Amino acid sequence: MDSAADVDRIFAALADATRRDILRRSIYGEQGVAELAARYPMSFAAVQKHVAVLERAGLVTKQRVGRRKVVRTDAEGLRTAQGLLDQYEALWRDRVDRMTQLITQTTEETDK
């Protein structure tokens, strides 16, 4: 990960339910922007903006294939996001483990 701004872009992109859904759909196979736009109760331009946010975050790529603009998941970007989430999970698991140890230690001392 290059910078805090890159991390912010990833989490900001994932903070929106529509963008998460677009990402999910692109994982299962390439999606045309027009096809995506037909699935949401918003304008084509609004869907394009959501795709642009995902693209800036490095989670998807957009490419012209004939007349279509096709959205594909960027596997490396997705791995980066997963790595960030794994770091937070490890941090919280460590904290829970330390709290458990403290509670166990306090309980044992109280029982003496």
pTM for this prediction: 0.80
pLDDT, residue 1, reads: 52
Runs of H (alpha helix) within the chain: 4-14, 17-27, 33-37, 44-56, 75-111
36-66 tens-digit pLDDT: 999 999 999 999 999 999 999 999 999 998 9
Query: Alpha-carbon distance 30 to 40, whole Å?
Result: 17
pLDDT, residue 25, reads: 95
pLDDT, residue 17, reads: 97
| Fold exhibited by the domain 4-111 | Arc Repressor Mutant, subunit A (1.10.10)
pLDDT, residue 70, reads: 95
* Structural domain boundaries in the chain: 4-111
Q: Which residues of the chain have pLDDT under 50?
A: none
Residue 4 phi, psi dihedral angles, 5° rounding: -65, -30
